[in-house]
Amino acid sequence: MTQPPSPIQPARQPLPSAESWLEGIPTPKGRQDGYAVAAFATSLPGLVPIAVVLAGVALRRIKRTGGHGKRLAYGALAVSLCWVIAIGVAVTLNLVGEHRRGIGKTVSISQVEVGRCFDADLEASTLRLVRIADCAVAHTGEAYAKVQAALVGLSTAQTGTVATQQCAGAFVEFVGTPYERSELDMYYVVLGDRAVADGNVLCLVGMPGTHLTGTMRGSQR
């Protein structure tokens, strides 16, 4: 009776994965496991994900082969944990600092201090509220000066002329370029008709339709 043909067998068995090859390579006697050394080395500059993976491979290899380097592997994990804690503390302190500086807070335009950056619709007919922003990131405007202007008894047009002249004088000192030649736009907010020591007109700089990054002080734009 004819036997059924046997199934065709592959000429070669599938090759083991690269990781299994590496884990199976014994570490020379007396030498530290290479993965443990690499894990510790990468943990020092803060390459946490790489260090953790290498430390895990090293511990498995050491357990299987009885090699050396367990302390280095655990040291890499400890250093990585320190990095994670340090980064977490830094992020928390930064968030607390931003909160204390009022970043993200919505305030009346009259409450914006000189040197503060903000986000607002500068093309609105009336600017009442702004959101305080970090000058280092994209924002729409910056308060650059408070100037004195005698506005009592002036008409709306006269008030605008005087306020513009006063803010233009502060503009060239702040930006480093005369307003007439600048690509930036200038705005003003009248805080009161009477000239006071700390200024009664708030001067703002911005560029409608786009965002600024960094302070415009000395930018010569």
Q: Is residue 149 part of a domain?
A: yes
Instruction: Indicate whether 169 and 194 sit together in one domain.
Output: yes
Using the 3D structure, point to which of 57, 82, 100 is the last residue of a domain.
Answer: 100
Residues 87 and 130 in one domain: no
Shared domain for 83 and 126, answered yes or no, is: no
Cβ atoms 33, 27 nearer than 8 A: yes
- CA pair distance 60, 20, nearest whole angstrom: 11
- Residue 55, SS3? helix
Six token digits for residue 49: 């994900």
What kind and span of H or E run contains 49? helix 48-65
- Confidence at residue 77, expressed as pLDDT on a 0 to 100 scale: 92
Q: How many CB atoms lie within 10 A of CB 188?
A: 20
* Boundaries of domain holding 28: 18-100
- Mark which of 85, 100, 115 sits at the end of a domain: 100
Look at the block and give the residue holding tokens 């503060």: 116
Task: State which of 48, 68, 100 marks the end of a domain.
Answer: 100
Q: Mark whether 117 and 187 lie in a shared domain.
A: yes
Query: Rounded to whole angstroms, how far apart are CA atoms 133 and 119?
Result: 6
Residue 2 included in any domain: no
| CA pseudo-torsion sign 148, 186, 130, 121 | positive
Per-residue model confidence (pLDDT) at position 14: 56
Q: 96 and 149 share a domain?
A: no
- Write down the residue that tokens 């690499």 correspond to: 38
pTM: 0.51
Q: Are residues 127 and 148 in the same domain?
A: yes
Task: Output the CA–CA distances (angstroms, integers) from residue 74 to 26, 33, 59, 81, in the order listed.
Answer: 20, 12, 8, 11
| Residue 220 placed within a domain | no
Same domain, 85 and 161: no
Query: Do residues 92 and 130 share a domain?
Result: no
In a domain, 7, yes or no: no
Q: Do 189 and 165 fall within a single domain?
A: yes
Kindly state whether residues 115 and 167 are assigned to the same domain: yes
Domain-located, residue 9: no
**Mean pLDDT in each 10-residue stretch from start to end of the chain (221 residues)?**
52 51 51 88 90 91 87 91 87 60 74 86 78 88 88 87 90 91 88 77 87 88 87
CA 66 to chain centre: 45
Number of folded domains that form the chain: 2
Closest of 14, 86, 93, 79 to residue 42, by C-alpha: 79
- For residues 182 and 164, membership in a common domain is answered with yes
Q: Is residue 13 part of a domain?
A: no
Q: How many CB atoms lie within 10 A of CB 219?
A: 16
Residues 196, 113 share a domain: yes
Tell me if 71 is assigned to some domain. yes
